[in-house]
Amino acid sequence: MALRKVIALCITIACLHDHVALCTEIYEDSNQPVELRVQDLLSRMTLDEKIGQMTQIERYVANFDVMKNFSIGSVLSSGGSTPNSSTTEAWQNMVDDLQAGALATRLGIPMLYGIDAIHGHNNVYGATIFPHNIGLGCTRDPDLVRRVGAATALELRATGIPYTFAPCIAVCRDPRWGRCYESFSEDTSVVRMMTDVIYGLQGNGTPGIPFVSDRSKVAACAKHYVGDGGTQRGINSNDTILSYEDLFRIHVAPYVDAIAKGVSTIMLSYSSWNGVKMHMNHRLISTLLKQELGFKGFVISDMEGIDFITDIPDANYTASVLESINAGLDMIMVPFDYEKFISTLRTLVNTGYISMQRIDDAVTRILRVKFSMGLFEHPLADRSFSPHLGSQDNRMVAREAVRKSLVLLKNGKTESRPFLPLSKNATRVLVAGTHADDVGLQCGGWTISWQGSAGSITKGTTVLDAVKAAVFTTTQVIHEASPTAEVAAKTKADFAIVVVGEQPYAEGAGDNTNLTIPDEGISTIKNVCSEVKCLVILISGRPLVVEPYLPLMEAFVAAWLPGTEGNGVTDVIFGDYDFVGSLSRTWFKSADQLPMNFGDPIYDPLFRFAFGLGMGKLPR
């Protein structure tokens, strides 16, 4: 009450002049401290306006009237959710149209538009697609990931979007998990190092305070809190069974860094910790994250995350809303039935099951982020950023990221005769494999659509394109996607480049207990490498079983999911740059060994964690 009196006094003093009608409210004055603006605006809000700020809805159900009538605080594009035309102008117009509805509300609170830009602005055709995090972890280069974050922020701003659900700072402890490629490493120290991507996305601010430095930056979201990478048997959304000490040491530690670097928001995991769903875990959300770690931004649910608190989704929605909000959730990614959520939360507050103090804490955090990122001053798209989408500068950063993420695991069948680098002046080169000429397969999941897909789904350079550009004009490049041994032999190639790997996947669809190369890829390796000296390049979101086929290969490179810039691969295999990547994950011999991580008492990998060769053959 005392604070409200101070605010009222400030307003009175500010308005004691001849132009009372021109008086700007404290929350509208960018010269006022953020916390004062937050408290001023909060004091003016009704319960319905506060609940609206806590509600995030999908663009599919959003329009001007919905934004205005329900005071909606945030909108998202889920994977593959795009306007009819995927041009920068179409994105900008869509976001601005929805923002107009938010600005038309009584208090004019702008909405926050968010999207999963997890390896570049991956929902948008023509955007630069960077290597997925598993590859970036192999670079051990925090400055590089900072620049990747900065480039991603520019491309987000090109479409008028100021908020990304990234980075994923999970510590993947079992590659059977379908989201393992979203993790930088099995090793906590590597993941902690890579949280510098937050500086790239948001800029540098006051340590520990949510901050977006300017209009070229965006609000970030560290996810998925916490233990999502440690679930039993690598099953997505499963239970993580660990002591509190081990949970903190392995999985919480990267969040300490993210908070120190000013991350604006934190998203919860679908998973559980020792049987308790994260979306209802008061100890880990309110006590640890907010009180002990001092997180000042807002906590957001995953998509329909509160619905999955019950074993049967949405079995008791009222209880799910009650448990999640009282546990410390601030914003709910509803995302479709927003009227049900709003009415349920309103009833729970009016009947005393959820306190107004808890609501005010949530809205305070949401407003703090909105004020700190300048959303009130600049709510609409800045169309001068349009040229940054897929720009040459950003693609050069991606190309650098590709070449630094490659890990050379074998180079020559004998110690004295390395196979790489390849000659650009060969007479004939055979390029084979399903993944050699396919941008979609090169990018993997979370590219244009949620699960990703094969084909020319966006602009990019395939490995085949890059090979053709790298070799001399006198070199004949022969492409066969799935050649027989006879066809491979008839090419009389000086050497072959075989590019095979996984099909795209995302989240639970990628959970896999076998982790073998698809049969077509195995056949191609056998057919080609038995007839022509070959380099095998594996495109995958994790290590796969390769030991039986290694003797056939002259050289073997893990390229992970490199994205759109295939030239980064040829930069290295033809010797313009050396290999500098080292494994961010242990490479197992058999899936029967899993989970197996560096430091385990029983540790017998095919390639140890941090292994990687240079062109000179010796491990670094």
Residues designated catalytic: 302, 507
Distance of CA 507 to the CA centre of its chain: 12
Tokens of 500: 């095979």
The whole-angstrom separation of Cα 335 and Cα 166 is 18
Q: What is the DSSP letter of 565?
A: B
Helical (H) or strand (E) element with 255: helix 253-260
Rg for the chain, CA atoms, rounded:
26
* Phi, psi of 83, rounded to the nearest 5 degrees: -65, 170
Sign of CA dihedral 549, 553, 558, 564: negative
The whole-angstrom separation of Cα 23 and Cα 19 is 7
Contact 349, 326 (CB under 8 A): no
Tokens of 72: 């909606």
* Phi, psi of 430, rounded to the nearest 5 degrees: -95, 125
Measure the CA dihedral 171/176/177/180, to 10°.
50
Q: What is the DSSP letter of 613?
A: B
- Residue by residue, DSSP assigns 294-316 as ---SEEE--TTGGGGGSSSTTTT
For residue 28, which of 51, 4, 11 has the smallest C-alpha distance? 11
Contacts 24+ apart (CB under 8 A), 38-46: 38/364, 38/367, 38/368, 38/371, 39/3, 39/4, 39/7, 39/364, 40/7, 40/11, 41/107, 41/109, 41/367, 42/360, 42/363, 42/364, 42/367, 43/4, 43/7, 44/107, 45/107, 45/363
Contact 160, 121 (CB under 8 A): no
Distance of CA 133 to the CA centre of its chain: 8
**Bond prior to 313 in cis (omega within 30° of 0):** no
Contact 325, 348 (CB under 8 A): yes
- Report the amino acid identity of residue 121: H
- Report the amino acid identity of residue 549: Y
Sheet holding 272-273, edge to edge: 239-240, 272-273, 276-277
The whole-angstrom separation of Cα 243 and Cα 293 is 19
The 3-state DSSP class for residue 62 equals: coil
Alpha-carbon distances, residue 414 vs 417, 420, 551, 552, 617 (angstroms):
6, 12, 11, 13, 10
* CA atoms in the 13 A half-sphere facing the CB of 611: 17
For residue 79, which of 537, 620, 506 has the smallest C-alpha distance? 506
Contact 158, 384 (CB under 8 A): no
**Pairing verdict, β 272-273 and 276-277:** antiparallel
* Bridge partner residues of 537 (DSSP): 499, 557
The whole-angstrom separation of Cα 349 and Cα 357 is 10
